[in-house]
Amino acid sequence: MLTKWEEVILRIWRLLTVKFVFLMLLGGCVSLPSDFKEPGVSVISVTPKISSGISPQFDIKLRVTNPNREALSIAGLAYTIHISGNKVIEGVANELPNIAAYGEADVTLNATANLFSGFKLLTDLLDNPTAPVDYEFNAQIDVGTFYPVINVKRAGVLSLN
């Protein structure tokens, strides 16, 4: 059992600790560069690979441009590809290059197709082979603890005619 003075000291200590943590977090936010620009991401190619398994595999090549005055270190990347509303590819990558200030780099992602979504997509395409095909590429790029995750979305329509 604590004495009355010990309880008062414990409450003061807790209050000071909470204030200290709050000030440290606030100070971290203030140190963020206000001129940080979102990197550009474009899909350069999707190349099928020879696979030993039943699921098809692809190399997805992205070009990432850094419009900032500091090098960009990509901690990780998560991505999905939807075709005609079917999520056919989903993956993550964590061994990614640093991108120099005002520079660009190509990033290759190893992807494996979701077999069941692929069957549904194939069925949809066989049912209506001349219909345009919608595609959507989504990526979440983690560029470090003090920066927000960058969301990238590229979408379009492919004509099979």
Q: What is the pLDDT along the chain (161 residues), one digit of tens a residue?
A: 667 777 777 777 777 777 666 666 655 554 445 677 888 888 888 888 877 777 778 888 889 899 988 888 888 999 888 888 888 888 899 988 899 999 999 988 888 877 777 777 777 777 877 778 888 888 898 887 677 788 888 888 877 66
| pLDDT at residue 65, as a whole number | 92
| pLDDT at residue 40, as a whole number | 85
CA torsion angle for 156, 159, 160, 161 (degrees, to 10)? 180
| pLDDT at residue 14, as a whole number | 75
Token reading at 75: 């901690």
Q: Which of the listed CATH numbers 1.10.1760.20, 3.40.640.10, 2.140.10.10, 2.60.40.10 matches domain 40-158?
A: 2.60.40.10
Query: In whole angstroms, what is the distance from residue 11 CA to residue 34 CA?
Result: 37
| pLDDT at residue 34, as a whole number | 65
Note whether 136 and 155 are within 8 A (CB). yes
| pLDDT at residue 100, as a whole number | 94
| pLDDT at residue 33, as a whole number | 57
